[in-house]
Amino acid sequence: MHRCLFKIDVEGYEKYVLKGIRRIIKESSDNIGLIEFNNNYLANADTDINEFSSFLAKNFPVYYLNKDQLIKFTTIDFHTVSSYFKKTISMSTSY
């Protein structure tokens, strides 16, 4: 059994990298990944943010790390996630 640890930050081409490593992920007993993405970069790479969000939700549990708290998203779509981050950003800038 193999374990897979990955980080992806490729300026909008995340879905292509994930599709490329799909076999490795399926053959691994444990997977942990960090995927950093930006909706503007996804759009520039011809990736629909809602399709990408659906792909993530279908294939991975998605979490957000907020300081020392790990929060699991029960719904992942652009509107839900972006509103959460706007709240987080506005809270952190009020200090």
In the structure encoding, which two tokens stand for residue 25, read together?
Answer: 């992920």
In angstroms and rounded to an integer, the radius of gyration of the C-alpha atoms of the chain is 14
First to last CA, the chain: 46
Please report, rounded to a whole number, the percentage of residues in the chain having pLDDT higher than 90.
20
Q: Answer yes or no: pTM beyond 0.95.
A: no
pLDDT above 90: residue 13:
yes
Q: How far apart are CA 80 and CA 51, in angstroms?
A: 14
User: What are the tens digits of pLDDT across the range 39-77?
Assistant: 889 889 999 888 888 888 888 888 877 778 887 887 777
The label of the residue with tokens 């490593």 reads 21
